[in-house]
């Protein structure tokens, strides 16, 4: 394994996120209290998911232009890692919601929309599993991938803002950007987003290479 620069950055930023995330000063806000530190661990899951699913769509489009096995594998593995981030995001979000909003699941528009979004991506893997023929599987799931991402963006970022949502920045609630989050938090928050996303990219990278090797062995056998 080559210790490329971005792998080192991943490790350093993850350590920084945890140390600074627990020990730095945060704004004193009622109800949120110390749980505001979840911003460094819950929110990056969703950022990471969106970025990884974006990579997945990029490679899906690339596959449709040049149908190589590599493009299909990277697209699938990025979607898989994005889904892992999404599931972690929903679990951490439910824990946070319990202590701040009172319920694990309060049918908040953004909670519901993200659950629907995750189901769409579960359906992507069900769809993949239902084809025996490789080319067909890769092509049809690449097309589905593009539609799923196009539906996910309004689900997560537009529809919750049109109604009342408990999430910051939705339905008239001020977002973290307006006054809850100060620059002392941003100094930890942005690196944390990068750190978790890079970790996801790293895992995607290893898993994709593994799948490519597996395919090569199958071809030779």
Partner 1 sequence: MKMLNKWAFTLCLFVSVLFTNVAFAQTADAAETTLIEANAPASNIEMADRLRADGKIYIVVGCVLVVLAGMIFYLISLDKKVSNLERQIKS
Instruction: Please choose, out of 84-92, 112-120, 144-152, 207-215, the segment that lies near partner 1 by the rule CB under 8 A.
Output: 207-215
Q: What is the dihedral of CA 188, 49, 106, 110, to 10 degrees?
A: 100
> Which 178-197 positions form the footprint of partner 1 (CB under 8 A)?
179, 182-183, 186-187, 190-191, 193-194, 197
Residues 6+ apart with CB under 8 A from 156: 46, 50, 110, 113, 114, 117
Q: Is 221 an interacting residue with respect to partner 1 (CB under 8 A)? A: no
Site string for partner 1, 54-93 (x = CB under 8 A): -x--------------x---x-------------------
Locate 177 and state its tokens.
């950007």
Candidate ranges 96-104, 126-134, 138-146, 205-213; the one touching partner 1 (CB under 8 A): 205-213
Residues with Cβ within 8 Å of residue 159, at least 6 apart in sequence: 109, 113
How far is the C-alpha of 187 from the C-alpha of 24, rounded, in Å?
10
Q: Does 156 bind partner 1 (CB under 8 A)?
A: no
Nearest-approach distance from CB 32 to partner 1, in angstroms:
9
- Contact between 30 and partner 1 (CB under 8 A)? yes
Q: Quick one: tokens of 198?
A: 């890079």
Least Å distance, CB 40 to partner 1, is 11
Residue of 172, 217, 218, 221 that binds partner 1 (CB under 8 A): 217
Please tell me the number of Cα atoms within 13 Å of 138 on its side-chain side: 21
Is residue 91 within 8 A of residue 104, CB to CB? The reply is no
What is the C-alpha separation between 78 and 205, in angstroms, rounded? 9
Binding stretches for partner 1 (CB under 8 A):
1-2, 4, 6, 9, 11, 14-15, 18-19, 22-23, 27-30, 33-34, 51, 55, 70, 74, 179, 182-183, 186-187, 190-191, 193-194, 197-198, 201-206, 208-210, 213, 216-217
């Amino acid at each position: 394994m080559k210790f490329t620069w971005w792998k080192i950055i991943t490790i350093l930023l993850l350590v920084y996120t945890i140390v600074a995330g627990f020990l730095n000063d945060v704004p004193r806000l009622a109800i949120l209290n110390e749980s505001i530190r979840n911003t460094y661990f819950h929110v990056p899951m969703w950022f990471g998911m969106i970025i990884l699913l974006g990579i997945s769509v990029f490679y899906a489009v690339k596959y449709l232009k040049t149908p190589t096995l590599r493009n299909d594998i990277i697209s699938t593995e990025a979607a898989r890692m994005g889904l892992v981030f999404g599931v972690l995001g929903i679990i951490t979000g439910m824990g946070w919601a319990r202590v701040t909003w009172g319920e694990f699941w309060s049918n908040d528009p953004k909670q519901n929309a993200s659950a629907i979004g995750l189901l769409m991506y579960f359906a992507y893997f069900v769809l993949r599993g239902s084809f025996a023929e490789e080319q067909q599987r890769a092509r049809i799931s690449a097309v589905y991938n593009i539609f799923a991402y196009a539906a996910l963006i309004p689900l997560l970022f537009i529809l919750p803002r049109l109604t009342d949502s408990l999430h910051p920045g939705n339905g008239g609630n001020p977002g973290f950007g307006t006054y809850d989050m100060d620059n002392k938090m941003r100094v930890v928050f942005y690196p944390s987003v990068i750190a978790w996303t890079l970790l996801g990219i790293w895992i995607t990278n290893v898993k994709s290479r593994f799948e490519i090797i597996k395919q090569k062995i199958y071809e030779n056998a």
